[in-house]
Amino acid sequence: MFKLQVQEDEKDPRQWHDVLGPDGAPLTFSDQSQARAKLEELYPVLVKLERFQAGTKRTRVISILTDDDGWDKKKGDTA
């Protein structure tokens, strides 16, 4: 799984936030190329600037690690 993040303020590198969908949840994708295409669709200027500018990167696609073995579930939790 992958999610998108954008940095609105280039002067503060700690200010990254998730790109949210209409439902308020972070947009997630199963395929990295789909995620990158959506990032370019939503933020075309920032993505194109990154290609031609050696400055700071302000968009990114993050890999989301999933828990397949359920190690963090509490005893008795069936969800």
Residue 31 lies in a domain: yes
Residue 29 lies in a domain: yes
Count of structural domains within the chain:
1
pTM, two decimals, is: 0.71
**Structural domain for 48, as ranges:** 2-63
For residue 71, count CB atoms less than 10 angstroms from its CB and return exposed for 0-12, middle for 13-18, buried for 19 or more.
exposed
Residue 47 lies in a domain: yes
Has residue 79 got a pLDDT over 80?
Answer: no
| Residue 20 · residue 64 · CB < 8 Å | no
pLDDT score at 55: 62
pLDDT tens readout for residues 18-64: 999 999 999 999 999 999 999 999 988 887 777 777 567 788 899 98
Residue 73 lies in a domain: no
Residue 75 lies in a domain: no
Q: What is the DSSP code string of 43-73? A: -HHHHHHHHH--S---EEEEEPP--SS-TTP
Residue 74 lies in a domain: no
SS3 20: strand
